[in-house]
Amino acid sequence: MNCTDAQNLFNRYMDGELGSKKSTILEEHLEACPACRESLGQLRTLVEQAERMPMMISPRRDLWPGIRNRIEEGMAKSTTKEVGIGQIGWPVRSLIAAAAAILIITASVVTVRLFSDGFDSLERFYAGWNQGLVTLAAMEKQYLGVTKDLIYSIGECEDNLPESAREIIEHHLEIIESAIEDSRIALIENPSDTKLQSMLSTTYRQKVELLHWTAQLLTQL
């Protein structure tokens, strides 16, 4: 067993999920390897610290007035028993949802034609990235700027988006964000892996395309 194999087993070993045979092999390695002993010790300390963390933290302002107001507003509303938007027109919402789903799928495979200035500049960065002229850090910085602008413009009129369509968009964003998160984690461990870097840049691009499409949809509603 080498150090990498050993370190891959540390968490399961600590949590008592490693079989006796593998545990014995790991313990033999630990006996002979001070570096792995130290790493395992650090992990154990970390878990012990986490268990001892204080469970109570006071908010810096009194949250009760806001809670009381919302409860009292809710009580007042429940007495009037208004018919909400959610109780009518569900077939219309379903149609919009279906249309949104189709459009999202389309947006993921077809390049969006009407790019904003920010999106255009990101495209140039992608081109530079593909030619090895732009660093990942520079591309990320550009991505952050573009998504920030898009999120701001979406946020301004997001309430106009039907709930069902919003849920579908959110679902797609969740998937893309998971991929971004996974790539980021993997890159922390292997920062020079070019395949991981490409994967991350691709998922950034997909997210920007989806946000851009959503922003455009909102302008048409």
Partner 1 sequence: MSKKKADKPVSGPSGNLTVQRAQDGDLGAFEELYRTHMDRVFALCLRLTASEERAQQLTQDTFVLAWEKLSSFRGEAAFATWLHRLAVNTVLQDKRARRRRRERIVSAEDASLIVEAYVVPTPEDRIDLERAIAQLPRRARTVFVLHDVEGYRHEEIAEMMKTSIGTSKAQLHRARNLLRKMLAR
- Site residues for partner 1 per CB under 8 A: 11-12, 15, 39, 42-43, 46-47, 49-61, 63-64, 66-68, 70-72, 74, 144, 147-148, 151, 154-155, 158, 170, 173-174, 177-178, 181, 184-185, 188-189, 207, 211
Choose between 28 and 181: whose C-beta lies nearer to partner 1. 181
Q: Return contacts of 128-131, CB within 8 angstroms, 24+ apart.
A: 129/201
Please report how close the Cβ of residue 38 comes to partner 1 at its closest, in angstroms: 9
Contact 105, 97 (CB under 8 A): no
User: How is residue 96 written in tokens?
Assistant: 């919009």
Please report how close the Cβ of residue 35 comes to partner 1 at its closest, in angstroms: 12
Choose between 32 and 56: whose C-beta lies nearer to partner 1. 56
Choose between 55 and 91: whose C-beta lies nearer to partner 1. 55
Contact 167, 158 (CB under 8 A): no
Contact 193, 186 (CB under 8 A): yes
Choose between 70 and 133: whose C-beta lies nearer to partner 1. 70
Instruction: Give me the helices (H) in 33-135, please.
Output: 34-51, 64-80, 90-109, 117-130
Give the residue carrying structure tokens 């370190």: 7
Please report how close the Cβ of residue 26 comes to partner 1 at its closest, in angstroms: 15
Please report how close the Cβ of residue 63 comes to partner 1 at its closest, in angstroms: 5
Q: What is the CA radius of gyration of the chain?
A: 25
Please report how close the Cβ of residue 120 comes to partner 1 at its closest, in angstroms: 20
